[in-house]
Each structure stands twice: as C-alpha cells, then as structure tokens.
Amino acid sequence: MIERREYRIASLQTMAAVPEMVISGALDDEIRARMCTVIETEAPIREALLFKRVIYSLSMKKVGSRIEPVFSRIAESLPYEKSEEDGEKVFHFGDESFFRTSIDSDRYSYQIPIEEAANCILYIIEREGRILTKSALRRLFQKELGYEKLGSQIDRLFERAARSPRIKRTGNGRFII
C-alpha cells in the first residue's frame, strides 16, 4: 500500500565556504556528510536538488562549472542506490513506497522523481477504488501533490508517471486498480 507523507527538507547547519575550499578538496568529507544527510532525509531525490541543498548550506549560490565536477565525484562515491531519469541521477534510500506532498517544501514539480509521482497515481486509484478518467485522475494528482494549478511542468510529470508499468489502464485509456 502506498503511503502519503509530507515532504521534509534536510536540516543542514549553514557554514561559510568559498569555491576555492571546495575545489581544493578540503571540504570533501563535509560535503559527503551533508549529501548523506540530504539523501537520508529527502530521498528519492534528483541530483540537481541534492547539489542545491548542499551548496546553499555552504553559503554559496550555485554549483558552477569549477565546483560541479567535485560534487559529481563525491556523489558518485556515495553508497546509495542510484537510478537515472532524463539523464539525471536520482538517489534512493530505504523503502520508497510513498509519495510526498510539496506544499511549502521548496521542491518544484520538475524535481519530483517519476516513480514517486507514479506512487501518487497509485495511491489515488487505490483510495478512490474505482475506474478514473485521465482528466479526473490528473486533477486529483495535482491536488494531492499540493499544486494549486495545473501548469505544464506538473502536467508533464503526470504524463510521464502515468506511463509507469505499475499503473494499469483499460482498453479505452481509463485508469484502474
């Protein structure tokens, strides 16, 4: 059974760092520890959001072209399961038979992993206990994730998640348990 949870952001103490410290390797252990904290709190998490959380905690604004290889190298060495979506890594930790609402979570729809979105669709179908049209399911999906309006990004996420092999459809395209 799929579970609904609130999205929690990892709590990282802010520290002042400069790009030269990151590039030199002096902060490798600190960056690795922060990445682990974020993954263990927010997984499944896309690599870009993982990097964003850590870089902001270091009081920097972005992962630039000089810093990105350091972050990529450290992320590659982490002991977590990884998958790929749209050419981007997604980090996993523990049981992922849930989805999280994104209300006030500083997480945009394009940052939600597809399998987590598919879990939301399965949750809705199970909860409703009936056959749903695509438009009805789309509205419930948007509402369940906490988005007020159905923009192109949330619509794209829905379309991709609805193609998951775990989601069953009738011959006329309706969604079923």
Mean pLDDT per 10-residue interval, the chain, length 177 residues: 91 94 96 98 96 95 86 97 94 94 76 95 94 94 83 90 94 87
What is the pTM for the complete model shown? 0.89
CA–CA dist 117, 160 (Å, integer)? 9
Segment 80-87 long-range contacts (CB within 8 Å, at least 24 positions apart)? 80/39, 80/43, 83/115, 85/46, 85/113, 85/114
pLDDT, position 171? 86
Is the CB of residue 125 less than 8 Å from the CB of residue 176?
yes
Q: How far apart are the first and last CA of the chain?
A: 12
Distance CA 74, CA 30 (A): 10
Quick one: pLDDT at residue 173? Answer: 85
For residue 6, the model assigns a pLDDT of 87
Residue 171: partners with Cβ closer than 8 Å, 6 or more residues away: none
Strand partners, 84: 89
